[in-house]
């Protein structure tokens, strides 16, 4: 199975690993890069793209070829290698299921090219046309009329967006070819599922009560819910629930959710939002409770060992207009530390054994270029938590390049270029 990752590939890969582990699905990561992954799973039906925040497209692999041949064919213009690629591409495997159920009058198919080595960037468009014309020829031979979807010249990469794939009905028609050039192998696949941004957007801006500056984007909320191993029937808690963005995703994952916030308005807003979500997604029987309370008294409010998983974003500090100095940023994070320490202590009390806490802490850019972060790991261990490293050796096949660095990652960082404060995501287990 081929996966096209979201913008933050480490988050996307960590989410997938946690998603399969939580569902007890055996899986292996065969290949990974900043743009796509190749994974093997026991039960392909166990993956539902609507339940993943960090996956953009999923493809079924139809052919593989050595990337060395790609280099010879497109970087050295070797005609023999080009002919080999045409054969290895097996266009029939791609076309024989395309447009099965449609009248093909206005049908379109597309080719998206992804690469992990930037040497392929200058030839990516040529590769796309090459693959497109092989597919078109095969479609014509099969008597199927379909147009190859072209791109405007100024588009940066020859890749269809998920919105285009959805709008042109390309999943149902199996009409998008993914051509992914990896470091050693190149994979050809057909898109079988695509991320639906409109659904996530609806939960973001369609809910009745909103609070823009504090709210976490639904895709990141979903990733956190998955990192927390939240699955059907589990009891899920967000003790800093705000307007309930993380709870919404946990409810969609079929958990029983509990939200707590110190602010009365937030409690009411979360109630309204969860009611809206239940109506919108026909979740009439979903269980939810929202309580007003301070995290300092969390275990008194919820009871000990009552919760299976927690994902939460406490205070990340004030919005900053300009990039601070290291000492200012340090003062900001130190001021927040006591709240995080209380959270760790109280979360440990309310979690059942083996339960996970996924918590966001601030990642503050500074003028020195070195970010200031909060070292909550030491406190977490002192409280009794184990740190969960998102990438464990056993999930990889062999010893891929860069793999040692990946398995050493203890927390995941999500920071946008335009923002001064980003998020550091920690996974802890009782």
Ligand X SMILES: C[S@@+](CC[C@H](N)C(=O)[O-])C[C@H]1O[C@@H](n2cnc3c(N)ncnc32)[C@H](O)[C@@H]1O
Which residues of this chain interact with ligand X, rule CB under 6 A? 214-216, 239-240, 242-243, 245-246, 261-263, 266, 294-295, 313-315
Give 260's strand partners: 291
Q: How far is the CB of 337 from ligand X (least distance, A)?
A: 13
Helices (H), 114-188: 124-141, 162-167
Distance, in Å, from the CA atom of 177 to the CA atom of 183, rounded to the nearest integer, reads 19
Q: How far is the CB of 268 from ligand X (least distance, A)?
A: 12
Distance, in Å, from the CA atom of 185 to the CA atom of 192, rounded to the nearest integer, reads 21
Closer Cβ to ligand X, 295 or 376, answer by number: 295
Closer Cβ to ligand X, 314 or 400, answer by number: 314
Taking every pair of Cα atoms in the chain, the longest distance, rounded to a whole number of angstroms, is 73
Closer Cβ to ligand X, 186 or 245, answer by number: 245
Distance, in Å, from the CA atom of 230 to the CA atom of 253, rounded to the nearest integer, reads 7
With CA atoms as reference, report the closest residue to 194 among 64, 46, 389, 2.
Answer: 2
Q: How far is the CB of 301 from ligand X (least distance, A)?
A: 10
User: Could you tell me how many helices (H) and strands (E) the chain has, helices first?
Assistant: 14, 17
Distance, in Å, from the CA atom of 1 to the CA atom of 193, rounded to the nearest integer, reads 11
Residue number, nearest CB to ligand X: 242
Distance, in Å, from the CA atom of 222 to the CA atom of 219, rounded to the nearest integer, reads 5
Q: How far is the CB of 255 from ligand X (least distance, A)?
A: 16
Closer Cβ to ligand X, 158 or 239, answer by number: 239
Q: How far is the CB of 304 from ligand X (least distance, A)?
A: 18
Closer Cβ to ligand X, 101 or 264, answer by number: 264
Closer Cβ to ligand X, 216 or 428, answer by number: 216
331's CB contacts (< 8 A; 6+ apart) are none
**DSSP character string of 306-353:** -EEEEEE--------SSPPPHHHHHHHHHHHHHHHHHHHHHHHHHEEE
Q: Left if phi > 0, otherwise alpha if psi is -120 to 50, otherwise beta: which for 169?
A: left
Q: How far is the CB of 207 from ligand X (least distance, A)?
A: 10
The CA-to-CA distance between both ends of the chain, in Å, stands at 33
Closer Cβ to ligand X, 55 or 245, answer by number: 245
Q: How far is CA 391 from CA 32, 172, 394, 404, in A?
A: 12, 33, 9, 10
Closer Cβ to ligand X, 117 or 315, answer by number: 315
User: Do β-strands 55-66 and 351-364 pair in parallel, antiparallel, or remain unpaired?
Assistant: unpaired
Distance, in Å, from the CA atom of 275 to the CA atom of 178, rounded to the nearest integer, reads 39
Q: How far is the CB of 112 from ligand X (least distance, A)?
A: 32
Closer Cβ to ligand X, 3 or 295, answer by number: 295
Q: How far is the CB of 221 from ligand X (least distance, A)?
A: 7
Residue owning tokens 């860069």:
402
Q: How far is the CB of 239 from ligand X (least distance, A)?
A: 6
């Amino acid at each position: 199975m081929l996966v096209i990752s979201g913008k933050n590939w480490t988050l996307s890969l960590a989410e997938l690993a946690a998603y399969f582990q939580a569902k007890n699905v055996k899986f292996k990561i065969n290949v990974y890069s900043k743009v796509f992954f190749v994974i093997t799973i026991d039960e392909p039906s166990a993956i539902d793209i609507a339940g993943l925040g960090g996956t953009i497209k999923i493809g079924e692999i139809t052919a593989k070829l050595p990337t060395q041949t790609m280099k010879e064919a497109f970087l050295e213009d070797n005609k023999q290698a080009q002919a080999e690629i045409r054969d290895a591409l097996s266009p029939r495997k791609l076309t024989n299921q395309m447009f099965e159920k449609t009248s093909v009058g206005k049908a379109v198919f597309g080719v998206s090219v992804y690469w992990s080595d930037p040497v392929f960037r200058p030839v990516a468009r040529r590769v796309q046309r090459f693959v497109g014309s092989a597919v078109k020829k095969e479609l014509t031979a099969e008597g199927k009329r379909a147009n190859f979807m072209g791109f405007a010249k100024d588009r940066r990469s020859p890749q269809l967006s998920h919105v285009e794939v959805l709008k042109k009905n390309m999943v149902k028609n199996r009409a998008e070819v993914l051509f992914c050039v990896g470091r050693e192998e190149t994979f050809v696949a057909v898109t079988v599922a695509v991320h639906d941004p409109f659904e996530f957007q609806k939960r973001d801006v369609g809910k009745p009560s909103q609070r823009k500056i504090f709210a976490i984007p639904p895709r990141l909320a979903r990733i956190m819910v998955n990192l927390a191993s939240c699955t059907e029937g589990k009891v899920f808690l967000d003790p800093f629930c705000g307007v309930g963005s993380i709870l919404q995703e946990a409810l969609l994952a079929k958990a029983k959710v509990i939200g707590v916030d110190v602010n009365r308005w937030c409690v009411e807003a979360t109630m309204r939002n969860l009611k809206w979500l239940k109506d919108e997604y026909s979740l009439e029987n979903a269980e939810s409770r929202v309580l007003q309370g301070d995290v300092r008294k969390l275990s008194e409010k919820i009871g000990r060992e009552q919760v299976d998983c927690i994902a939460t974003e406490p205070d990340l500090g004030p919005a900053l207009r300009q990039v601070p100095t290291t000492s200012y940023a340090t003062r900001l994070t130190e001021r927040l530390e006591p709240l995080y320490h209380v959270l760790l202590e109280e979360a440990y009390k309310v979690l059942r054994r083996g339960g996970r806490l996924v918590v966001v802490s601030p990642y503050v850019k500074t003028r020195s270029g070195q970010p200031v972060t909060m070292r909550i790991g030491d406190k977490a261990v002192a409280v009794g938590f184990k740190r969960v490293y998102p990438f464990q050796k056993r999930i990889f096949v062999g010893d891929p390049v860069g793999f040692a660095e990946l398995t050493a990652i203890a927390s995941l960082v999500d920071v946008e270029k335009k923002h001064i404060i980003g998020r550091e995501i920690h996974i802890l287990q009782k």
